[in-house]
Amino acid sequence: NAGVTQTPKFRILKIGQSMTLQCTQDMNHNYMYWYRQDPGMGLKLIYYSVGAGITDKGEVPNGYNVSRSTTEDFPLRLELAAPSQTSVYFCASSPQAVSTQYFGPGTRLTVL
Amino acid sequence: TQLLEQSPQFLSIQEGENLTVYCNSSSVFSSLQWYRQEPGEGPVLLVTVVTGGEVKKLKRLTFQFGDARKDSSLHITAAQPGDTGLYLCAGAQNTGNQFYFGTGTSLTVIP
């Protein structure tokens, strides 16, 4: 099993550009999460999903969108990138609510 | 606002020393997890505690959940360079489907 995979690993965007961060898990987990990690701030939840077709906002959803058309995939869309979105983004999955989360390796995004 | 505060934020110690990391909140949590994150990787779960006063041991690591389920501590005995990393606590409340992560403690163990 590959676990949770994320692409790309690194990306530089210009202000106003858009992009999609990809996340795929092969563990058949219903729950999936997107976090951003800024220095000294731990992890902040952006969006999460409890199953295909169901998504909900986390603590910091503004400027992002998600979709969950399959159990395996949970892409994160950035529209009109801003410097404040410079961060490391982690995708995670878990078999149940508030159980062990399995994290991907992260995507380091810089917006200039 | 940060629901969970960790202290210290940074810790640098010599190999063989003992240390304690704290995770505090004014809120009650139904469960609390500790993760370790190495540079360039995602966090990896170390332990989950669910009962007030619960103590769990994982080799040289001892985790405790406060009696009121508002705080937790991680104690490492005889630290080794392999313990170096970012330690994160994460708490879940009875309502909702998410964990709230703490601010993190960056530990460096010097050989």
The string of pLDDT tens digits covering residues A34-80 is 999 997 778 999 999 999 999 999 999 999 999 999 999 999 999 89
User: Touching check for B31 and chain A: CB below 8 Å?
Assistant: yes
If you search the block for the tokens 């705080």, which residue do you land on? B71
Residue B65 is given by DSSP the state E
Cα B38 → chain centroid: 14
Residue B2, pLDDT score: 67
| Cβ neighbours around B19 below 10 Å, total | 17
Question: What is the percent of chain A where pLDDT is above 70?
Answer: 100
Note whether B97 contacts A: Cβ–Cβ < 8 A. Answer: yes
**Where does the pLDDT of residue B72 fall: very low under 50, low under 70, confident under 90, or very high at 90 and above?**
very high
Confidence class for position A9, pLDDT limits 50, 70, 90: very high
pLDDT for position B95: 73
Is B27's pLDDT higher than 80?
Answer: yes
Question: Would you say A43 and A104 are in contact if contact means Cβ atoms under 8 Å apart?
Answer: no
Burial track B66-78 (b if 16+ CB lie within 10 A, e otherwise)? beebbbbbbbbee
Cα B78 from Cα B84, distance rounded (Å)? 13
Residue A33 Cα, gap to closest chain B Cα (Å)? 9
Contact at CB, B103 and A106, closer than 8 angstroms: no
Residues of A in contact with B88 (CB under 8 A): 42-43
Residue A73 is given by DSSP the state B
Report how far residue B22's alpha carbon sits from residue B78's, in angstroms, rounded to the nearest whole number: 18
- Give the max Cα distance, chain A: 38
Percent of chain B surpassing pLDDT 90: 86
**B36 contact residues in A (CB cutoff 8 A):** none
Question: If we measure between CA atoms, which residue out of B99, B109, B90 comes closest to residue B38?
Answer: B109
Rg of chain A (C-alpha set)? 13
Name the least confident of A2-6, A15-19, A98-102, B21-25.
A98-102
Q: Are B63 and B46 in contact (CB under 8 A)?
A: yes
Q: What is the pLDDT of residue B1?
A: 59
The closest of A5, A11, A20, A25 to A94, measured between CA atoms, is A25
Query: Which residues on chain A are in Cβ contact (under 8 Å) with B98?
Result: 33, 45, 48, 58, 98
Q: Is the pLDDT of residue B66 over 70?
A: yes
